[in-house]
Structure 1
């Protein structure tokens, strides 16, 4: 493992760029930043609230899940964890950032008049749309349940696909685009749905939770955050409590462990000329790191 930079507040949402740089969200600093291969950090855009997950979309723009704002829990010198809903909570939203100008545009902040609570992560499907999770929002004595949505990149349509989830977080697609994976943080599970058409999931009958198939559940020993998929179809999950990335080669199989020295392994992506470099955000000590993996990552859809 190589540390690229420690000059961040609370990093998430890495995007590996063709020039070798990595775009990363800094939730604590409320900004989208670029990290050069040498570790130099530059700010691209201010994103007030809580920029939480990102993906490269049509026309080279970055689409951002903004959780609206969270309080912070200091856990030691230079370290922190996200806390409950902040006093300055702005409401959740999906935003589009122009990488050239830094202009920020809000695409979605509600569904059928109900505000988004805490959008967390997203993935494009190659048809002009993207799937995203809404984590829900935690307060001192209560919590909003989460959901999965599909929306068009031009801001013209949003659909609710799954509701009532407990902390849906990372989201990813299989290489053939026919399966959707969603990680639940607090339950330590990864769920899978078949995709019938863009923005349309095939739901299993009761008693299947959320109409989904259970893809991974390592016995409650891990809380999952971000997901990424290899070209082979293996699913990689950031495991918060295991100081590791877990690699699942198939449904309900024992994972391969990629240990990382941090208490909050939050997100990951693949990049490099051969797509075998894994970039990971280690948010407890606020680092962006990279390490090599045995197989190439999936080349993601950016436009459709």
Structure 2
């Protein structure tokens, strides 16, 4: 979930499992009225896999990931992709296989000119990469490059960005989960510069970290979702979020 530049709630809804799949769609909720708008629920006439994470630009563009972590045979689409929703409601696929494998977390740089993507494919030799892409004014991507590679450990899931452009990535696990995923990357929030330098790690005792975001009046509180627990911790550098870009 994410608040857009106008303070409306953007949500990735649904999963790949059975009839009770939550709609497999992107929605926008007006928090003042409670009105819910379905922004997108299909591409090329086929239902999405399971929208996972979302980022928004101050110009109204929305970007979201649509991986399949379940049974591909139950999916209508035969690919895992990243999409853009424009202000006119049109939906464009901007990234897909083979340039990426399993798109998960997504975020923008503070100047909104770089799109960051967590590519987490939990199979032997699957991607555990953090990608960066140049993002043009019209929302197209170019200049794909690796920021960091967590392989062979558990890769990233959700992420946040601070006001200086550093990435805060929920990643790692304390034990091996088989030949596809080692315990080499300890669990925590990994703080990584746009150039790929690891500045530090905030250790978390839960193994399955799924997301992280900034909050609080000064945007110096990290909220971390991990397993059955929600953690908070204070940091020195304030976060960057699109709905607070102008300090509101």
Range class of TM-score, shorter chain? 0.7 to 0.9
SS at match of 2:53: strand
What is the DSSP-based 3-state SS (H/G/I as helix, E as strand, rest coil) of the residue aligned with 1:166? Answer: coil
Aligned to 1:56: 3
Q: Distance in 2 between matches of 1:294 and 1:255?
A: 13
Question: Which residue matches 1:295?
Answer: 237
Of 36, 40, 56, 1:104 maps to 36
CA–CA separation in structure 2 for the residues paired with 1:229 and 1:216: 15
CA deviations 1:9-53 (Å, max 9, x no partner) are: xxxxxxxxxxxxxxxxxxxxxxxxxxxxxxxxxxxxxxxxxxxxx
CA RMSD, aligned part only? 2.4
Match of 1:124 in 2: 56
Q: Distance in 2 between matches of 1:299 and 1:95?
A: 19
Residue 32 of structure 2 aligns to a residue whose secondary structure is coil
Q: Which has the higher contact order (CA 8 A, sep 6+)?
A: 1
**Aligned pair partner of 1:258 in 185, 191, 202:** 202
1:147 aligns with 2:81: yes
Label 1:252 to 1:269 Cα distance change in 2 as closer, same or farther (>3 A).
Answer: same
| Contact 1:145 1:167 survives alignment (8 Å) | no
Give every structure 1 segment of 4 or more consecutive aligned residues whose post-TM-superposition deviation is greater than 6 Å.
140-143
Alpha-carbon contact 1:189-1:217 (below 8 Å) kept? yes
- The within-5 A match list for 1:76-91 is 85-89=17-21, 91=23
The number of residues matched between the two structures is 225
1:189 maps to 129
Tell me, yes or no, if the aligned pair for 1:159 and 1:199 is still in contact at 8 Å.
no
Deviation at 1:121, TM superposition (A): 0.8
Q: Contact 1:57/1:303 (CA < 8 Å) preserved in 2?
A: no
Instruction: State the Cα deviation string for residues 146-185 of structure 1 (Å, max 9, x = none).
Output: 11111135x6211110112322111111111111000012
Q: Which runs of 5+ in 2 are unaligned?
A: 122-126, 174-185
Q: Aligned to 1:131, what secondary structure does the other structure show?
A: strand
1:250/1:111 Cα in 2 relative to 1: closer, same or farther (>3 Å)? same
> Does structure 1 residue 172 correspond to structure 2 residue 107?
yes
Residue 55 (structure 1) shift = 0.9
Give the deviation of 1:104 after TM superposition: 2.5
Tell me what 2:219 maps to: 275
Query: Taking structure 1 as the reference length, what is the TM-score of the superposition?
Result: 0.67
From the two aligned structures, give the one with the greater strand fraction: 1
TM-score in terms of structure 2 length? 0.81
Q: Residues 92 and 141 from structure 1, CA distance in 2 versus in 1: closer, same or farther, beyond 3 angstroms?
A: closer
* C-alpha contact 1:55 1:122 (8 A) present in aligned 2: yes
Q: Note the alpha carbon deviations across 1:74-120, whole angstroms, 9 max, x for none.
A: xxxxxxxxxxx335335521011232343322110112323211111
